[in-house]
Amino acid sequence: MKAKPFPVAILFAAVAAAAYFLPAPSGGQTGEEIQMTQIATDLTAQQATIVDNQAKIDAKLATIGENIRQARIYAGRGR
Stretch 21-32: mean pLDDT, rounded? 70
Has this prediction a pTM greater than 0.75? Answer: no
- CB–CB of 55/63 below 8 Å? no
> What residues contact residue 76 under an 8 Å CB cut-off, 6+ apart?
none
Whether residue 5 has pLDDT greater than 60: no
pLDDT of residue 31: 81
